[in-house]
């Protein structure tokens, strides 16, 4: 996802002001970058949760593993604190 895509999603999130953001198969859509951006951009971490899943155990997500959790079942589900498993 390019910078314009991330910027557009930021605007969408700002407009919708969701409590929860869901994303399935985010690796395929490169959502992982914008999810990471959205998580750290939120002014009050913890008030907005992000749950996402990826279908395979070995997707190369190690580039933003800080604070994110890995579920034993092969996909990841995370909250804004990375607490969801």
Partner 1 sequence: MYDRLVELVQSTPSSQSLTGTSVPPSPSYVTYYLRLRSRAPNALHRITLLESRTTIEQGTTGLKTWPAAHALAEWLGKHPGRPQPLCSPNQQSDMSCHLTERVVGKRILELGSGVGYLGLAAAAIQLDTPAEGDPEPSIWLTDVNSVVLSRCRDNLSLPCSTLRGFLVNFNGVTDWQTRRTGTTAYT
Give the residues lining the site for partner 1 (CB under 8 A): 5, 8-9, 11-13, 15-26, 28-29, 31, 34, 44, 46-47, 49, 51-55, 73, 75, 77, 79-81, 83
Kindly report the CA angle at 2 between 82 and 59, in degrees rounded to 5?
45
CB of residue 32 to partner 1, shortest distance in Å:
11
CB of residue 12 to partner 1, shortest distance in Å:
5
| HEC profile of 30-69 | CHHHHHHHHHHHCCCCCCCEEEEECCCCCCCCHHHCCCCC
CB of residue 36 to partner 1, shortest distance in Å:
13
């Amino acid at each position: 996802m390019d910078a314009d895509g991330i910027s557009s999603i930021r605007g969408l999130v700002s407009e919708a002001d969701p409590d929860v953001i869901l994303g399935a198969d985010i690796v395929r859509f490169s959502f992982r970058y914008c999810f990471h951006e959205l998580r750290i951009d939120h002014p009050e971490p913890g008030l907005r949760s992000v749950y996402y899943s990826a279908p395979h155990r070995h997707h190369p997500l190690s580039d933003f593993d800080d604070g994110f959790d890995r579920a034993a079942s092969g996909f990841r589900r995370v909250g804004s604190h990375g607490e969801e498993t």
